[in-house]
Amino acid sequence: MEKSLQTKIDNLDAQLHQVDPNYDFNYDAQFKVIVIGDSGVGKSCIVQRLTQDMFKDDHQITIGVEFGAFVMKIEGKIIKLMIWDTAGQEQFRSITKLFYKNSDAAIIVYDVSRRESFDDVQTWQNEIENNTDESVLQYLVGNRVDLEDSREISHQEGSSLAKDKRFGNFFETSAKTGQNIRELFIQVTKHLYLKNKDRLDRFVIFLLSFIEIQREKDETDNSMNYRSQSIALSQINKKDSDKKKKKKGCC
């Protein structure tokens, strides 16, 4: 990632939004993030650590897709990530490809202790490029750094691949210890916010304009209703006055 962009991301006024993301619908923007990679690299454990702050050694293999959510407040706007945790097994590829549509970001995960999962990064990147819009933000993540004694891919090797393949950024994480998990998704959320900031600002301006127009319309309608009621009341008073005059004239 370019230093200037990283500086902008670091300088954003942002904090975690302390609500249940599964039931909070008062957000200004929602982004779809898919988590992909070989089976067993720890994708589900990463999402579980983020959303539930827990880790299970015996986590069940994902079949199809599972979901998680993450919410932040950035520059006064509530931003929600919908995280799609996809299956990595070959037999589910045809299914998981269906879930790539309309993604805003893709996180490719490999296991630092399994060379094969690192070698497959290019295959996963090809799947992203073939099944999503070219503007999709891509992050590379080397997971399971707690297995340092079994490491087969160095930090430098992962970082170099991320630069060569033009990933938005590179992280090394451990779902077991929680290392860099929250930092990863904070970075992704901020990056997506900056990337879409102009569109979000235009939407807010449009929304405020709509609210102002609606307010003026309501005030006009209320004024017209008041005038109509006043006219109707004056007509009633006039009729009553005319009746009284007629009664006086006949006596």
Query: Tokens in use for 9?
Result: 């991301």
Per-residue pLDDT reduced to its tens digit, 78-99: 999 999 988 755 545 566 677 8
| CATH architecture entry for 3-195 | 3-Layer(aba) Sandwich (3.40)
| Per-residue pLDDT at 161 exceeds 90 | yes
- Could you tell me how many residues make up the chain? 251
| Per-residue pLDDT at 208 exceeds 80 | no
Output the pLDDT for position 75. 93
Distance CA 99, CA 89 (A): 15
Per-residue pLDDT reduced to its tens digit, 116-134: 999 999 999 999 999 998 8
Question: Percent of the chain beyond pLDDT 70?
Answer: 70
- Supply the pTM of this predicted model: 0.75
Residue 11 burial (CB count, 10 A): 9
- Residues 6+ away with beta carbon under 8 Å from 172: 112, 141, 142, 143, 145, 155, 158, 179, 180
| Per-residue pLDDT at 173 exceeds 80 | yes
Per-residue pLDDT reduced to its tens digit, 20-53: 555 555 789 999 999 999 999 999 999 999 999 9
